[in-house]
Amino acid sequence: MYNEITSNKRRTAILMALFTAVVIFLGYAIGQMSGYGYDGLIIAVIFSFGMTLLSYFSGSRIALLSSGAKNITKEANPYLHRIVENLSITAGQPMPKLYIINDTAINAFACGRSPNHASVAVTNGALEKLTNEELEGVLAHELSHIKNYDVRLMTIVSALLGTIIILGDLVWRMHFFGGRSRDRENNGNPIMLVVGLILLILSPIIGQLIQLAISRRREFLADASGALLTRFPEGLARALEKIGQENIPMRRATAATAHLFIANPFGKIHKLFATHPPIQERISILRKMSL
């Protein structure tokens, strides 16, 4: 279990380094292909930073509203409150706000920029269909996302992806409309046109694939961290097994919030373009873990 946690942290760091390298490469390409130097890169970074701040401070509220989550009190659902409270005490982190989503699918998600500003939302389907140990495994997974600052990490990753898309577009526009006067001679150059087109097409795709890969690695990490918290990996394994058997898409799932959930809210999707690892692979790893 500890090996799994270490491995996932290392792979996430490698993917983040690769992501940053793509952004730097695009910035260099703009400087070489246009007369604007690094002005375009600076503008793109400033724009992405602004979008990151918006997501950082408002992302949780948007995610909860879009999923139809309703805040609940301890009196409204003492069973759910007690499980989360006990897990929070064990993990040594603050009790998050609790929400329930009116959906028959078995699912849950956590959001918040830090443990002190966190929320956990659970579907009615999870509360009704999971046993105590299974629900505990799911909630431990979500609390691990909070403790590992995964929401903050994915916010940064989304900003990097936005920067890549903007820079790719700038490379194309700067060539198509022409750079500053000293680069006018490049206009109409078929080689520069092809390079710009390749950057425009491939950079966002590469960035998206890296983003999805990081999201999948964080799911593995949350599985391992959650199992370490409960000391019972089989609980989460059984919950994932039920989710896989049902494969019920959520009614109010969106692409923007899909990576937050414990399982893909759209049902099955090709592994390369999935925000989550295959459920069977997660179950297999959990059942190989030992304490």
Q: pLDDT per position in the chain (291 positions), as tens? A: 567 667 766 776 787 777 777 777 766 666 666 555 566 567 666 766 676 677 777 778 888 999 999 999 999 999 999 999 999 999 999 999 999 999 999 999 999 888 899 999 999 999 999 999 999 999 999 999 999 888 777 777 777 777 777 766 666 666 555 554 444 444 445 665 566 567 667 777 877 787 788 888 889 999 999 999 999 999 999 999 999 999 889 988 887 788 889 998 987 665 656 889 999 999 999 999 865
Burial of 284 (0-12, 13-18, 19+ CB in 10 A): exposed
Q: Structural domain of residue 157, as residue ranges? A: 2-288
pLDDT value, residue 17: 77
Question: Cα 153–18–150 angle (5° rounding)?
Answer: 15
| 11 contact partners, CB below 8 Å, separation of at least 6 | 217
- Verify whether residue 234 is a known catalytic residue: no
Q: Which of 131, 129, 111, 124 minimizes the C-alpha distance to 230?
A: 131
Residue type, 179: G
Number of domains within the chain: 1
Residue type, 156: I
Catalytic residue among 136, 142, 219, 241: 142
Instruction: Give dist(CA 105, CA 214) in Å, integer.
Output: 25
Question: Cα 79–82–85 angle (5° rounding)?
Answer: 150
